[in-house]
Structure 1
């Protein structure tokens, strides 16, 4: 069972209601959220993750979040959605407002990872971003879904307008940095590493 498509609420822990918070989150953030919960002793937070592959079909994110809130939210004092808009065109925000649950503000998770550090604003539109999760899962979430494993000639069509692969590192991991650099080489892009840590994710969870 993979953390990107599994229920990570602790087994046997029934929500007692008062003070307990259910996080409905993207599976791509599972490792980071669990690390923050452990580091800060946030025992009142329970985590349920939706499949990270939903990012390839953002039209399915809002319905999946609504189904999860409906199925799992009873008994919790609060439910919080750990997604940004993530390509839903505002559908997720409207869904959360209708359900009366909070969510992260912003266009996507890359934005809140970098929100805590000042960055030079340049031609970011030509940057392709990887996080720790995507560096590990590059083949499953980028290379294979785009068909590049079968048709490498499509690389130019998908990535011809990009100039740089930006690796947003949540951890100092030399092996992971080397892996991210190898992905840049495969895409024929320049490589840039930015250490972001958990960015604004820690403060978001603290407020939850």
Structure 2
């Protein structure tokens, strides 16, 4: 099995490309475990992974330039490059950049959507729900609690989350410890708790398509 850097490294620095594959996936650090699990499970040894820092999601205006730079850095070394991001708050800029670069990315507004399945997620229309994935449960303090200043000013909680009523944990794995941690996150935010097992959702579908396309060429 592939060894992973810790979540703090994936949040702050990302993951360098390693291996001798013919295909590279450029992804958000928040997806590293899921992508590597799918690669290992399916024996897609021709696929390498590099991840940008997951904390870029707190600065979506920086994502497009970071992806563009990563494609430029690695293009000469790989036959095919794919981008494992959805729009992720870039307002269409990332899709436009990927189109110009000639690389595929995942359709949809964000990872919450593609984990659950874009059509199913849209059908819920849950504007009062706050979502966490496996990675974001593990990194809740780094992504939510500390950046919003709630570690120093917990009284700000209602100002930030007063319009939410439920925390929905989209579980990629069956992990009782993560479920317990997600429940704790909901309690800290004063929200009701719901767990949905999504598995890898449309991420698996896209990776399967990328792997099949490459193997058939």
Fold conserved between structures, TM > 0.5: yes
Moved more, 106-115 or 122-131: 122-131
Q: How does 1:97-108 map to 2 (within 5 A)?
A: 97-108=99-110
- How far did residue 76 of structure 1 move? 1.3
Q: Which residue of 2 aligns with 1:165?
A: 167
Q: Contact 1:117/1:196 (CA < 8 Å) preserved in 2?
A: no
Alignment partner of 2:168: what SS? strand
- How far did residue 74 of structure 1 move? 1.2
CA offset digits 1:99-143 (Å, max 9, x no partner): 111100000000010018957944500000000000000001110
Q: How does 1:38-49 map to 2 (within 5 A)?
A: 38-49=40-51
CA offset digits 1:30-64 (Å, max 9, x no partner): 01001000000001111000000000000000000
Q: How does 1:41-80 map to 2 (within 5 A)?
A: 41-80=43-82
- How far did residue 155 of structure 1 move? 0.7
Quick check: 1:3 aligned with 2:16? no
Q: Which residue of 1 aligns with 2:36?
A: 34
Note closer, same or farther for the CA distance 1:111–1:53 as it changes in structure 2 (3 Å cut): same
Stretches of structure 2 lacking an aligned partner (at least 5 in a row): 211-217
Q: Which residue of 2 aligns with 1:148?
A: 150
Q: RMSD in angstroms over aligned alpha carbons?
A: 1.7
Q: With structure 1 as the length reference, what TM-score do the two structures score?
A: 0.92
Note closer, same or farther for the CA distance 1:122–1:38 as it changes in structure 2 (3 Å cut): closer
Stretches of structure 1 lacking an aligned partner (at least 5 in a row): none
Equivalent pairs, count: 202
Q: Contact 1:110/1:129 (CA < 8 Å) preserved in 2?
A: yes
